[in-house]
């Protein structure tokens, strides 16, 4: 909105020329999203408490989590408001890629909100059936994959980190590949959201990394120099990434240990889907396995645990899965687990940035 309303005034007032720059608008988007969370957070928390929209805790979870029962949940609604509001204010709304990111995020947020509401209303930790949730997620991701495949100038080529000049073309198979990335990313963040501040912190770090890649992918000179796939209009996706960073930072103010509010599935499914959509749009799909390595680690821990449990007839690799609960069972304090996972996420983020030169 600001881009359309204020930038045209630069011919009369040169100061308005700053609205042309992606860096300025991305920072503005991040600050705006942060302030929306920071200022409205206390009011929203009190409203959730009044409506008794509280966390439902699993009976088989760590004992330290029993005290979390009743803590306000569905805080992801506020994250979505911040992301949507800030995107509408600071992004170029004539850019279709921005709308793809935003609409996919909101759709996944809708799935998560229904899931959360079923849990809260019925005091049931199961929520939506896994099958129903997956069908909805796949439907949304299919729409994104189909749109991009039919988008002028867009192709089904893959960008592989560390492998210069190798870009296999998947053709129509790019659509199911996009679905796998988006749905996988969404569910991975959902699995990670088990400790105070863990998901919001790691998503923030990953989104910051993708902000840099989106900016580079949308600039024909920078992308050529760094040998990245150039995607027309991808620069505006950097503004969207800025809103995620700001929203997660603002939410972390209230979600850090001991949490005053949880994001719920409405937040985790939406944020994971957003990261997946960004990765697909700027053609850095495999980079998500590096920058979002913590999410990959969490998913693999569940797959290994379940698989080994079935094969071995009841034995376990970890004390509990996802992986972060394993360390809780070993006696680590929750803040220690979270901060160390953040450190790992930062290291992985730096490794992802290093791929800019290692090509």
pLDDT in tens, 282-294: 999 999 999 999 9
CB 244 within 8 Å of CB 274: yes
pTM tops 0.85, yes or no: yes
pLDDT of residue 34: 98
Which spans in the chain are helix H? Answer: 2-6, 22-50, 76-90, 96-122, 130-150, 174-192, 198-217, 220-226, 235-255, 264-281, 288-291, 293-312, 323-329, 334-354
Find out whether the peptide bond into 71 is cis, omega within 30 degrees of 0.
Answer: no
Does the annotation place 187 within a ligand binding site? Answer: no
Cα gap 60→320, rounded to integer Å? 10
pLDDT of residue 124: 64
**Residue in 205, 201, 203, 168 with CA at minimum distance from that of residue 185:** 203
pLDDT of residue 354: 94
Does the annotation place 60 within a ligand binding site? Answer: no
DSSP state of 252: H
**Residue in 239, 143, 124, 216 with CA at minimum distance from that of residue 182:** 143
pLDDT digits (tens, 9 = 90+) for 100-133: 999 999 999 999 999 999 888 776 667 788 899 9
Q: C-alpha angle 186/188/192, rounded to 5°?
A: 120
Cα gap 205→308, rounded to integer Å? 32
Average pLDDT per consecutive 10 residues, the chain (359 residues; last block may be shorter): 75 81 96 98 95 75 68 95 98 96 98 91 75 96 94 82 78 94 98 95 98 97 92 96 98 95 97 98 95 96 92 89 90 95 98 88
What length does the chain have?
A: 359
pLDDT of residue 134: 96
169, β-bridge pairs: 157
Cα gap 9→330, rounded to integer Å? 60
Cα gap 84→105, rounded to integer Å? 9
């Amino acid at each position: 909105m600001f881009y359309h309303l204020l930038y045209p005034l630069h011919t009369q007032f040169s100061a308005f020329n700053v609205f042309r720059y992606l860096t300025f608008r991305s920072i503005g988007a991040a600050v705006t999203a942060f302030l929306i969370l920071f200022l409205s957070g206390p009011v929203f928390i009190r409203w959730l408490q009044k409506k008794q929209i509280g966390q439902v805790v699993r009976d088989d979870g760590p004992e330290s989590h029993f005290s979390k029962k009743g803590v306000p949940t569905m805080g992801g609604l506020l994250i979505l408001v911040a992301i949507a509001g800030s995107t509408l204010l600071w992004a170029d709304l004539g850019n279709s890629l921005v709308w793809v990111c935003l609409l996919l995020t909101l759709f996944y947020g809708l799935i998560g909100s229904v899931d959360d509401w079923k849990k809260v209303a019925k005091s049931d930790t199961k929520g939506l059936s896994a099958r129903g949730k997956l069908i909805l997620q796949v439907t949304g991701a299919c729409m994104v994959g189909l749109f991009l495949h039919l988008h002028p100038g867009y192709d089904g080529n893959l960008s592989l980190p560390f492998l210069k000049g190798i870009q296999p073309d998947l053709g129509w198979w790019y659509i199911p590949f996009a679905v796998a990335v988006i749905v996988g990313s969404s569910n991975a963040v959902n699995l990670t959201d088990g400790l105070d501040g863990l998901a919001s912190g790691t998503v923030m770090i990953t989104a910051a990394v993708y902000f840099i890649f989106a900016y580079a992918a949308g600039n024909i000179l920078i992308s050529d120099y760094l040998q990245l796939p150039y995607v027309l209009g991808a620069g505006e996706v950097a503004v969207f990434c800025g809103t995620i960073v700001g929203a997660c930072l603002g939410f972390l103010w209230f979600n850090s240990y001991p949490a005053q509010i949880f994001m719920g599935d409405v937040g985790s499914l939406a944020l994971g889907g957003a990261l997946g959509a960004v990765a697909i749009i700027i053609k850095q799909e495999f980079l998500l396995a590096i920058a979002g390595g913590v999410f990959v680690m969490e998913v693999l821990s569940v797959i290994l645990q379940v698989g080994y449990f079935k094969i071995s007839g009841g034995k376990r690799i970890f004390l509990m899965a996802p992986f972060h609960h394993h360390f809780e069972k070993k006696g680590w304090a929750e803040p220690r687990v979270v901060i160390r996972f953040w450190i790992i996420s930062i290291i992985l983020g730096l490794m992802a940035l290093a791929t800019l030169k290692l090509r």
